[in-house]
Structure 1
């Protein structure tokens, strides 16, 4: 028996996403007229007949975006998720959000469930350790999907990647600290086997290589508890280190606490810069210098990008890096800033 054409066949012939075809079939006002004509021509070519009665059973899922985050406990990811969800909501799309807690098994489970419930697109900050099964399932469903903030699947032509320019961030941090002529600068936090750690560290290596200063890396979980432990480690075992760039703000905030317990004055005899610029950085004492990633703006940008893909069929560039900036506060320049 000959197989009946599906909307996947229509999407393939039209050269657009399955979700865009669905929007056309639902008479969505979000789709341009030229895209409608393209879909109608593709339907005629493959012999697709639209079953409206069956489609009505699924209509509540049209315009539903799946958002999968590796760690919603981290304020950096929470702010991203919130800004993206609100931007999508403003355009009439609903968002279903799942936290994987850095577990690839949970990730595969929630992505599978989202696909079964008919999401139009997926935005994923992926967990490490996935063997490709999650993204293979997305590919089989012909669902537009973006990797954000960290790249796990190398197939960026199929699953485009977007993130702040982490390398630029650690370059900015290293140059700023070097302006104070430190004896030695450490890079603290981040698990050594993760690509995002290398991405946030490489700018630090770049700048130190220019000066001939020997790098020092203290790897560990991206958490406050590790930051407290790292502060004690540096004070007791590496007294020559008088500056640090941290993998993220949570590590830096933990180090602040650890140094306070050890009566070490951060900003005077030890200079430190975090990474991400979560809200708490400006509220602690001393206020934390950090790399501002513009995560709220980034979330809105990703929302706009995924909607263009859905509504106009324009796939994002394989890789997009957004600008970052250094925010100088007390921990790197105590008493010298206005």
Structure 2
């Protein structure tokens, strides 16, 4: 007796994922018309018969991806989440997104809920403080899970890590400031003893060489940036340039320097990190390390799709390139 065709046979015949076939069978509106037609033609060609009872026993969440983000209020992480979600939607996958607000207890709760509801895979930008415990639960569930932007579990063989080359960006930014004539450069923002802070300082430290770094570390927010700028305005210590942990800190510093009567781009050079949309809209326009977080989000989703559809496991560690966008705060002087 010939083997009865399965949903996997249909997926291979149509050139789509098993989850996409499942969505077609569920009449999901997420599937494009052309894709639906191709899957239905493959079902007909293979004489595939849908066993609804068996499908109900397996669960109906085969096309669902969990996206767990540490801080959706930050435009950088919001852009990542939106780009990843749209990529999944284009391939027929629905996405459930959770904001953990840097709370490891909330993170554990939402991941447990996603696992219980049968997500097919997880992409996680972990909250600070998690030492990988939540990944053990994911491992027991046997789900593909990708760590992005921050590493919580060192077991990258099971939980691959993808991020951006922050050290290279920091190096390029610091070199640009030196080549532009800066003599004394400070690094502002970022919490101490955090890997991402050290990565974003690494290139800066390398350019300084034997010189002592000047750092004002703290929460990477606009409020902290403004406070740091006011402190530097009161006691400049000869500082003529600042490299910031992120754009939020840099934008806050621009406000603080303006309050103090210090012209950014003339009296002091300033560079942010991430290159969120507001950098090109600020006055003066803010120089920043461009991370192309939108492309990174699309690539992370594509990596997960390949893992699900072909079994192709991502590399244990991958860093996407970054580039420096030189604008008015560190380039041409536009403020009289």
Shared fold per TM-score greater than 0.5: yes
Give 1:68-79 correspondences, 5 Å limit: 68-79=68-79
TM-score (norm 2): 0.84
Query: Which position in structure 1 is the counterpart of 2:126?
Result: 126
Query: Which position in structure 2 is the counterpart of 1:271?
Result: 269
* CA distance in 2 between partners of 1:221 and 1:137 (Å): 30
Secondary structure at the counterpart of residue 330 of structure 2: helix
Distance 1:117 1:183, change over 3 A: same
Give 1:244-323 correspondences, 5 Å limit: 244-323=242-321
- Asked if structure 2 preserves the Cα contact closer than 8 Å seen for 1:162 and 1:320, the reply is yes
Q: Deviations over 1:175-219 (max 9, x none)?
A: 00001222210110000021111111111111111xx43211110
Secondary structure at the counterpart of residue 211 of structure 2: coil
Alignment RMSD (CA, Å) = 1.9
- Asked if structure 2 preserves the Cα contact closer than 8 Å seen for 1:190 and 1:247, the reply is yes
Secondary structure at the counterpart of residue 60 of structure 1: coil
Query: Which position in structure 2 is the counterpart of 1:329?
Result: 327
Distance 1:120 1:25, change over 3 A: farther
5+ residue gaps in structure 2? Answer: 1-5, 19-50
Q: Which runs of 4+ in 1 moved over 6 A?
A: none
Give 1:24-39 correspondences, 5 Å limit: 24=8, 29=14, 30-31=16-17
* CA distance in 1 between partners of 2:256 and 2:217 (Å): 17
5+ residue gaps in structure 1? Answer: 1-21, 33-50
- Asked if structure 2 preserves the Cα contact closer than 8 Å seen for 1:184 and 1:214, the reply is no
* CA distance in 2 between partners of 1:176 and 1:27 (Å): 51
Secondary structure at the counterpart of residue 332 of structure 1: coil
- Asked if structure 1 preserves the Cα contact closer than 8 Å seen for 2:67 and 2:98, the reply is yes
Secondary structure at the counterpart of residue 97 of structure 1: strand
Secondary structure at the counterpart of residue 331 of structure 1: coil
Query: Which position in structure 2 is the counterpart of 1:88?
Result: 88
Query: Which position in structure 2 is the counterpart of 1:97?
Result: 97
- Asked if structure 2 preserves the Cα contact closer than 8 Å seen for 1:23 and 1:62, the reply is no
TM-score (norm 1): 0.84
Query: Which position in structure 2 is the counterpart of 1:60?
Result: 60
Q: Deviations over 1:158-177 (max 9, x none)?
A: 11011110000100100000
- Asked if structure 2 preserves the Cα contact closer than 8 Å seen for 1:23 and 1:31, the reply is no
Give 1:160-309 correspondences, 5 Å limit: 160-209=160-209, 212-309=210-307
- Asked if structure 1 preserves the Cα contact closer than 8 Å seen for 2:59 and 2:118, the reply is no
* CA distance in 2 between partners of 1:113 and 1:304 (Å): 24
Task: Choose 234-243 or 161-170, whichever is displaced more.
Answer: 234-243
* CA distance in 1 between partners of 2:295 and 2:134 (Å): 27
Task: Choose 59-68 or 108-117, whichever is displaced more.
Answer: 59-68
Aligned residues: 295
The structural deviation recorded for 1:240 is 1.1
Q: Deviations over 1:210-267 (max 9, x none)?
A: xx43211110001000000110111213331111110000000000000000010101
Query: Which position in structure 1 is the counterpart of 2:32?
Result: none
